[in-house]
Chains A and B, each alone.
Chain A
Amino acid sequence: MEENKSPIMERIAEANKAATTGIDAKDIKNWIKIYIMGKAYTVPADLTILTAMEYAGYKFVRGVGCRQGFCGACATVFRKKGDYKLLTGMACQTRAEDGMYLVQIPFSPAEKAEYDLTKEPYEASVLIKYYPEVVRCVSCNTCTKACPQDLEVMDYVQAAIRGAFDSLSETSFDCIQCGLCAIRCPAEIVQYNVAQLGRRMYGRYGQGVPDHLRKRVKEITEGKFNEDMDKIIKCSIEELRKIYTEREKEPE
C-alpha cells in the first residue's frame, strides 16, 4: 500500500535492485561492510545474508534452496559487531548487518539410522536404541537458542528421552532440518534425526488412521473415480497438457 511507503522500505527496494536487476552501483545510496569467512566485502545495505553473499560474488550450487525460509538448506552462523554471542539463522531470512562476521554451514554431518518401523516397539527404547546419545542431554538449551524456527528443541529432546511421542511430534513439527541445533549441541545429539524417527513412530502407532483417509480409500475401492481415470488414460499428451494447465487450483 502506497501510504505505508517508509524510508526503510525504499532502501530495501533500492538495495535489492542492485542484486536482482543489475542496477548500477553508483545508484545505491547505503552500503555496509560484512566479513564473509573473514574477508571484508562492501555490499548494499538491507540485503539478506544470501543475496549479500551473491552480490559479493559467491555462487551457490549447494547450501541454498527455496529462498523462502522453508527448506532449511542455507543455515548460517554469524556474530554481530560488538556482541560476543554466536548467532544462527537461515541466510535467506536474515538481514546482513554492518560489521557482521559470517559463514555458511550448508550441511551438518550426521549418520542417519536405518530402521524398519514395523519391527520396532512403540516405546522410548526405540529412540535410545538408534540415537543413544540423546540421553546425554544436560538441558543446557543451546539447541533451542540455535533454532531459526524458534522451536523448543530441548523440550522435544526431553520428550524423546521419556518416550512422549505425542509432544515430541508436536513440538518438532515445524523443523526444517537445517542442522544448526546438532552443530551447537555439546552432547553431540542429532536432534532432527531423533525427532524424525519419533514422528514416524507416532504417525504409525500413535495417531491411527484418520477418518477422511478411510473414507477416501473406500470411495476409491468402490470405483468413484474409475470413469474419470479412464478418460485421462485415453487422452493424448496435448489434451493432458491442456487439462493440467486449466485444472482447478487451490487459491494462492
Chain B
Amino acid sequence: MTQTKTDTPKPTPTNTSKIPYYPGCTLKTTAKNFESSAIAAARALGIELMEIPRWNCCGTVFSLADDDLIHHVASVRNFVRVQEMNDYGLVKNENRLVTLCAMCFNTLKSTNLRVKNNAEDLKKINDLMYREEDYQGKVEVLHFLELLKSIGFDKITSRVKKPLKGLKIAPYYGCMILRPQEVGIDDPEDPTIQRDLLVALGADSVDTPYKRVCCGSYQTVKEKDIVAELAYDILSHAQKEGAEALATVCPLCAFNLDNRQKEVKSKHPDYQEMPVFYITQLMAIAFGLGKECYGFDQNYVDPRPLLQSKSLIEKQGS
C-alpha cells in the first residue's frame, strides 16, 4: 500500500483535544457543581473531557497493605477502560487520564505507581481480570490542575472575560493532591498551583498556613465535632488573613469546610459563614460561561451574595 502525501495537513473540525476523564461517584452525586463547572471551563480552553465508558469506583482509599491486591483491582480496571478508548478510536494515542476529585486522583495514581513498579503485582491483577485485556502500564494519571498548568496559566489569563477583580480567595489544598510526594502535584509544604490559577483568573490569592492542614477527612461521618473544630481553624485563619472565600479541588474537603460550617456556627456563634468554591466554579465565572454550569445550589454557604457584591454575577431576580 502506498500513501499519498498531501501538502496541507487535514483540517481538524474543531480545535478541541479529547482526553479521557474519570469522574468518580461524588462528582455524580454531591459534587455535580464541580463536574459541570470543570467540563465547561475545560471546553472553553479547547479540551473535551470525555467520560470514560464503563468506569467503576476508583477504590476510594489506596490500600497500604503489602498483600491486599484485591483493593487495587478497581483502579487498574479503569486504566484498561482508557486503553479501550484508544482501541475503539474514542481518543487518539491519549494515555492521560484526568480526574477532578482529589481522592480519586490519589487512589488512581498511587495504584498506577504500584503496578508500574511491580510487574508481579500487575500480573496477578491482570490474571484475576482475565476477561479484560491486560493493562499495559502506560496510563498517566493527571489531576485537572496539572492539565491546566501544562496548558499554561498565561493562556488561561487570555481566556478570562470577567477578571475576578477584588475577590479575595484563600486556596486550600488538603492532603490528597500533595501527599505522598511521589503522588503529589506540588510542593507538599508550600503548594502554589491554586494560587497561580487564582491569580491567572484575576483574583487576589490569600495565603494561609492552614492551606494544607487536614480537614478531618472521613472523621466527618462519626466525629462531627472534631471536623467542625478543624474547619473552624482553617476558615477563621483564612478570614484573619482577609479571605472572603476558600477554593479547593477536593469534594471531601469541600464538604467538611462548607457543610460543617453549620456545626462551626453553633459552636462559635460569632463566626461569620464564608463560601467554599470549587476552583472550577471560579474559572467558569471568570471565563464568562453560562450560569447553568455554576451549580451554586449545591454549595452549602451560598456564594452568590459575595459574587454579586463584586458585580461578578447578576443580582437574583434581575
Interfacial residues, chain A to chain B (CB-CB below 8 A)? 123-125, 135, 137-141, 144-145, 152, 154-155, 158, 161-164, 186
Residues of A within 8 A of B129 (CB): 141
CA distance A162 to B29 in the complex (A): 7
Main secondary structure of the interface of A (DSSP, over half): loop
**Among A123, A138, A144, A154, contact of B59 (Cβ-Cβ < 8 Å):** A138
Closest B residue to A158 by CB, please name it: B56
Interfacial residues, chain B to chain A (CB-CB below 8 A)? 23, 25, 28-29, 54-57, 59, 70-71, 73-74, 77, 128-129, 131
* Nearest CB of chain B from residue A188's CB, rounded to whole Å: 14
CA distance A170 to B77 in the complex (A): 22
CA distance A139 to B73 in the complex (A): 7
CA distance A162 to B55 in the complex (A): 11
Residues of B within 8 A of A145 (CB): 131
Residues of B within 8 A of A139 (CB): 56-57, 59, 73-74, 77
CB <8 Å contact, A163 and B57: no
CB <8 Å contact, A162 and B25: yes
Closest B residue to A125 by CB, please name it: B29
Residues of B within 8 A of A125 (CB): 29
* Nearest CB of chain A from residue B218's CB, rounded to whole Å: 13
- Sample 22 A-B pairs with CB under 8 A, ordered by A number: A123-B29, A124-B28, A135-B57, A137-B57, A137-B74, A138-B59, A138-B70, A138-B74, A139-B57, A139-B59, A139-B73, A139-B77, A140-B70, A140-B73, A140-B128, A145-B131, A154-B56, A158-B55, A161-B25, A162-B23, A162-B28, A163-B28
Among A144, A145, A154, the most chain B Cβ lie within 10 Å of the Cβ of A154
CA distance A120 to B309 in the complex (A): 38
- Identify 6 new A-B residue pairs, CB closer than 8 A, beyond the known A137-B56, A137-B74, A139-B59: A125-B29, A140-B70, A141-B77, A154-B56, A158-B55, A186-B70
CA distance A186 to B73 in the complex (A): 13
Closest A residue to B75 by CB, please name it: A139
CA distance A140 to B125 in the complex (A): 10
Residues of A within 8 A of B57 (CB): 135, 137, 139, 158, 161
CA distance A247 to B54 in the complex (A): 47
CA distance A140 to B77 in the complex (A): 9
* Nearest CB of chain A from residue B26's CB, rounded to whole Å: 9
CB <8 Å contact, A124 and B29: yes
CB <8 Å contact, A124 and B74: no
CB <8 Å contact, A124 and B131: no
* Nearest CB of chain B from residue A206's CB, rounded to whole Å: 15
Residues of B within 8 A of A141 (CB): 77, 129, 131
Q: Known: A138-B74, A139-B57, A155-B54. Is A164-B28 also a contact (CB below 8 A)?
A: yes
Residues of A within 8 A of B59 (CB): 138-139
CA distance A132 to B131 in the complex (A): 28
8 pairs of A and B residues whose beta carbons are closest in the complex: A139-B74, A162-B28, A162-B25, A158-B56, A139-B56, A124-B29, A139-B77, A161-B25
Residues of B within 8 A of A163 (CB): 28-29
* Nearest CB of chain B from residue A91's CB, rounded to whole Å: 24
CA distance A161 to B91 in the complex (A): 27
Closest B residue to A186 by CB, please name it: B70
CB <8 Å contact, A124 and B25: yes
CA distance A182 to B214 in the complex (A): 38
**Among A138, A155, A158, contact of B73 (Cβ-Cβ < 8 Å):** A138
* Nearest CB of chain B from residue A131's CB, rounded to whole Å: 15
* Nearest CB of chain B from residue A48's CB, rounded to whole Å: 25
